[in-house]
Amino acid sequence: MPGLWLLSDARRLPDPRAAACRLPPGSAVLARDMAPALLRPLAVLARRRRLVLLLAGRGRAALALRAGLHLPDRRPAEHLLPVLLARRGGRGPLLSVAAHGRAGLARARRLGADAVILSPVFPTASHPGAPALGPLRWVALARRAGRPVIALGGVTPRNRRRLPCWAAGWAAIGGLL
């Protein structure tokens, strides 16, 4: 499981390729709301740099690019079934699920997700004014996940030390720019 995750963002990081070039091998890039024309070049870059690529909510595109799939919490995913079928027998693309509370964690368990991205840990520029879980509530929820949990939301190299050592990793947009 990658320990470091870079997320694209339509407003703050619409093209994550330059930032992905600075990631260490084995890190993940989660492509959210990206222009379709950028996906293939990003997939080529990820393979060349030995990065794990996941697409948010686009199952067929993920399969076509040999990428993993990330299921957003508040939006439906397209073509989830082909990805679930490709994962039969313990093989197939990586599957991550976004969670903001218990319902998202339960969804991840039902789908047999490889990881949960639990957010927001800290206040974040992506959602100004939105309430954060805080490290204590994040830990309480993460312990119920039953699978590796990635911390997202206002995480920086400095404040990630406030997360438990057993956290599977951390994800960021601005914290990695």
Identify the CATH number of the domain defined by range 4-176: 3.20.20.70
Residue extents of the structural domains in the chain: 4-176
Cis peptide before 120 (omega within 30 of 0): yes
Structure tokens that stand for 151 in this block: 């911390």
In the numeric block, the tokens 């989660």 are attached to 30
Residue 134 identity (one-letter amino acid): G
pLDDT in tens, 39-60: 999 999 999 999 999 999 999 9
Helix, strand or coil for residue 105? helix
Give, in degrees to the nearest 5, the angle at Cα 157 between 155 and 162. Answer: 65
Structure tokens that stand for 79 in this block: 């073509």
Q: What is the pLDDT of residue 177?
A: 67
Structure tokens that stand for 98 in this block: 């976004």
Q: Beta-carbon neighbour count of residue 106 at 10 Å?
A: 15
H-helix or E-strand containing 52? strand 52-56
Inter-residue contact 152 to 171 (CB < 8 Å):
yes
The pTM (predicted TM-score) of the whole model is 0.94
Q: What is the pLDDT of residue 72?
A: 95
What integer is the mean pLDDT of 24-33? Answer: 96
Above 80 in pLDDT, residue 175? no
Q: What is the pLDDT of residue 81?
A: 94
Helix, strand or coil for residue 71? strand
Dihedral sign of CA atoms 4, 72, 175, 166 in order:
negative
pLDDT in tens, 114-171: 999 999 999 988 888 889 999 999 999 999 999 999 999 999 888 989 999 999 999 9
